[in-house]
A and B are shown apart, each in its own frame.
Chain A
């Protein structure tokens, strides 16, 4: 019988998460969320202005096209599989 071990394993993970969650709640980790948004930016000395370029925009467009092509292709593939198996 191995179920009890797995259930104990999953349950202990859940309990530990709960303990940490309530620790964080009590420590006020979830209070000042507006300030928290800026923590990454504040951890850095102000960086210079961003240099934009046409090449940069071209990169962005090519990337977007590649990503959408990938997504559309796999959507089609999965739809065909499902139609094939169900139909």
Chain B
């Protein structure tokens, strides 16, 4: 290994800071999720503690997983692999570490704000205005650091992970401002239907143009290395990237198929939702052909195991998503737990699990020591896998019960007792995930700071 590579490998305080951020918020966010799940079983659970009643715990959970756990986890990986792929140093680690600290202050302010009742009340855009501004600053700092790194590159060709990573942060820095209507600080919203349309342009971009590309960037980087195989086709990967950019940017209206929005917008969103099969299958065929015949290698490696599992959930969530965008299917699946199931499969099963794999990939490389405990990481894998698969099954069943009851005009008081056992099951499965999150946090802190393992 030459000297530059060695220095690249040894010092990555930025990736370390984002790793710790992600692990800590994963633990906190699942704790908020458990509180919310508790309220759904027993609505007077923790009665009178206004700071965490359901209406506040839910957005705290959702914002903490999105902006505290998944995004920083995937960014930690990006801060590692982007400079490496470009054969250069990150433009500024000082800026990177500052960025991570500021990021934490931002998410924490958001949580405190929501728990005190300061919310803009629009899903995925709940954070109050000052925090919105802080989020924009955080993303802008990431963009500046990474763009200047790309400009200083030694390797002229941009590997597909760089395309995805850069697109994710640049697009989010822009769409966050638009979607949160930051030019209207008092409400953070437009009025009436245009607001719903704008919100879902933004909302879907958070999954499709932030989490998805960042996670795919990590998968395209880690899987070839962990299976010692070159990418099956770089051309195919670029086709996947460009088709995602063209198709995904305007499918937000599929969240509003039951709402009086213009039909042409609905039509675009439905057609493009089905067309999503193209970018998705292109990516998956490419990744799966890359690792073809290497299943053993995948399961011998903790990062590859997480990320390969992420690709399976990616397949699943997208096929499911394309079907949910059909109005006839959505008549049953809309406004109930089916969508919550889809949300967990996508944001957690795909993006979150990929983030965990990416963290386990970079950890030994940024600390130059083996992982503190492979056993704990493996245990976390199984806890998370059982938890999320269980979520998918349980929430889908509840969704079908609720959807059919509603469709057939049944009254609510008959349905509620029917779905109670499923809510208990969901909370039990949530416990698996939450325990996994705390074990992961412990393992990561030990690996980063208290690891006596021999240097590699």
Contact = CB atoms under 8 A, between A and B. Distances in A.
Interface of A: 2-3, 6, 9-10, 13-14, 17, 21, 24, 27-30, 32-41, 43-45, 47, 50-53, 55-57, 59-60, 63, 66-67, 70-71, 73-74, 77-78, 81-82, 84-86
Interface in B307-347: 308-309, 312, 315-316, 319-320, 323, 328-329, 331-333
B331 A85 contact: yes
5 contacts: A10-B250, A44-B84, A60-B298, A63-B312, A77-B400
Nearest to A58: B299
Interface in B19-49: none
- Counting from the closest, the 9 A-B pairs by CB-CB distance are A56-B299, A36-B234, A39-B159, A2-B194, A59-B299, A37-B230, A60-B295, A52-B296, A43-B84
A9 B319 CA distance: 28
A50 B262 CA distance: 55
Interface string B150-166: 00000111111100000
B194 A66 contact: no
A79 to B, nearest CB: 10
A45 B319 contact: no
B329 A82 contact: yes
Given A39-B155, A82-B329, A33 B234 contact: yes
B81 A43 contact: yes
B233 A37 contact: yes
A44 to B, nearest CB: 5
Contact of B157 (A3, A39, A41): A39
A14 B245 CA distance: 9
Nearest to B342: A74
Contacts of A9: 178, 201
Contacts of A47: 225, 228
A52 to B, nearest CB: 4
Contacts of B224: 40-41
Given A10-B249, A43-B87, 6 more contacts: A29-B158, A39-B234, A40-B85, A50-B228, A50-B297, A52-B297
- Grouping DSSP codes into helix (H, G, I), strand (E, B) and loop, the B interface class, with mixed when no group exceeds half, is helix
Contact of A53 (B1, B246, B300): B300
B231 interface: yes
Interface in B416-449: none
Contacts of B299: 53, 55-57, 59-60
B402 to A, nearest CB: 13
Contact of B296 (A10, A29, A57): A57
A3 B263 CA distance: 12
A77 B396 contact: yes
A37 B332 contact: no
Nearest to A54: B296
B451 interface: no
B371 interface: no
Contacts of A41: 224-225, 228-230
B197 interface: yes
A40 B221 contact: yes
Contacts of A73: 393, 396
Nearest to B157: A36
B11 interface: no
Interface in B226-263: 227-235, 238, 242, 245-246, 249-250, 262
Contacts of B160: 36
B199 interface: no
B393 A70 contact: yes
Contacts of B227: 50
Contacts of A13: 249-250
Interface in B287-302: 295-301
Interface in B371-405: 385, 389, 392-393, 396, 400, 403
Contacts of B16: none
Contacts of A37: 230-234
